[in-house]
Amino acid sequence: MQPIPAGEVGRLAQQVLDRVGTVMVGKRDSLELVLAGILAGGHVLLEDLPGLGKTLTARTFAQALGLDFRRLQFTPDLLPADVTGSFLYDQRSHDFTFRAGPVFTNLLLADEINRTPPKTQAALLEAMQEKQVSVEGVTYRLEAPFHVLATANPIEYEGTYPLPEAQLDRFMLRVSFGYPEADEELNVLRRRMSRRREEAVVEPVVDAKTLLRMQAGVEEIEVEDSICRYLIALTAATREHPAVLVGSSPRGSLALLLLSRAKAALAGRDYVIPEDVKAVALPALAHRITLRPEMWLKRIDPVAVVAEVLSATPAPVSGALPSHAGNLGQQRPTPARASRLLSSLDDDDLEPFRPTGQRG
């Protein structure tokens, strides 16, 4: 498969975001994070209050990317076979035949994933990590590309089952949208009146094969050793923070690496800079750490801990880049830009990265 150059990946990605933006009003930064997760080959957890466009985001991205899309509503009585599929007896052939479940698609919307028991949640684990499912001892490969966009309600706990740490770790990042501004909400109403129907449909920008080529292009993006050491330093700092009981695993470092490359591709660059890492660190790491119980009494949340880790961990200052990286028309980062920390962030700056129900 021929990879698409980073500059072309960036151009196509911006067209996809523009197309999705015709339906989703505002929240460009959050939409970029969702697309970065898809370009990085990962799965995305959309954690926010009802009615803020989580399901619409998944459906619109599937349309803009030209992907086969299925939605699975998770409920307390949902069984693992309802996710993966099962063998059914065929009276005509007098044999059992496999009927594929909704997981056999390109983009699966796992709606309200925290409303189903852990046994059914675990049915997604193999599919998300191995891109395959096993039913009655038979393994079935999932056709690429395969991505899970799961939604969860962060404030409603009655009748819900919190995702286990093993499954939370399978999501490359967690994204929240938050409430729209007044002008954005007015724009939502105007667009609904102008299209004169409930459903919103967008034309595809790319197809599944092109998306795979874009993902292959992301794999070609250069990452310096100094950037890799910076990624490791960030995840290691989460394990040593006094407020943290369990820090990020090496899978967190891998998520930072993959997402920072996707973020560079969105900017049309074939190299990663520290700002790419900082842009994805909060959504990539905050859901991977467990705080000490007493921290909740002090109103300290994982987002604040990751932000503190970012501000305390020095970024690479060499500014060294691959020699071929300057041909994309991007501004060459200086040592001062590369070493800029996030110590100036206050609590308001962290609000977009928190689930809406946990905001002040």
Q: Residue 157: what pLDDT? A: 66
Where in 187-321 does DSSP place strands (E)? Answer: 244-246, 290-291
Least Cα distance to 30 among 148, 174, 159 occurs for 174
pLDDT tens figures, 154-200: 776 666 788 878 788 889 999 998 888 999 899 989 988 988 888 88
Q: Residue 324: what pLDDT? A: 37
Classify 141 as helix, strand or coil: strand
Report the alpha-carbon distance of residue 359 to residue 336 in Å, rounded.
32
The amino acid present at 15, given as its one-letter code, is Q
Report the alpha-carbon distance of residue 6 to residue 14 in Å, rounded.
12
What pLDDT band is residue 329 in, cutting at 50, 70 and 90? very low
Residue 232 carries which DSSP code? H
pLDDT tens figures, 222-246: 999 999 999 999 999 999 999 999 9
Which is higher by pLDDT, 264 or 357? 264
Please enumerate in sequence order all residues whose Cβ is within 8 A of that of 221, keeping only pairs 6 or more positions apart, or say none: 6, 261, 264, 265, 269, 270, 271, 272
Token pair 């498969």: residue: 1
Q: Residue 166: what pLDDT? A: 77
Least Cα distance to 241 among 190, 284, 302, 282 occurs for 302
Classify 206 as helix, strand or coil: coil
Kindly state the tokens that stand for 139. 């393994």
Report the alpha-carbon distance of residue 81 to residue 115 in Å, rounded.
16
CB 87 within 8 A of CB 125: no
CB 292 within 8 A of CB 241: no
Report the alpha-carbon distance of residue 21 to residue 28 in Å, rounded.
8
Report the alpha-carbon distance of residue 55 to residue 52 in Å, rounded.
9
Kindly state the tokens that stand for 271. 């190299």
Kindly state the tokens that stand for 280. 């994805």
Q: Is 46 exposed, middle or buried (0-12, 13-18, 19+ CB in 10 A)?
A: buried
Is the model's pLDDT at 23 over the cut of 50?
Answer: yes
Kindly state the tokens that stand for 26. 């505002």
What is the pTM for the complete model shown? 0.85
Report the alpha-carbon distance of residue 274 to residue 221 in Å, rounded.
14
Please enumerate in sequence order all residues whose Cβ is within 8 A of that of 74, keeping only pairs 6 or more positions apart, or say none: 110, 111, 112, 113, 114, 115, 116, 120, 121
pLDDT tens figures, 192-220: 898 888 888 899 999 999 999 999 999 99
Question: What is 221-358's CATH number?
Answer: 1.10.8.80
What homologous superfamily does CATH list for 6-209?
Answer: P-loop containing nucleotide triphosphate hydrolases (3.40.50.300)
Domain ranges of the chain: 6-209, 221-358
Q: Residue 340: what pLDDT? A: 40
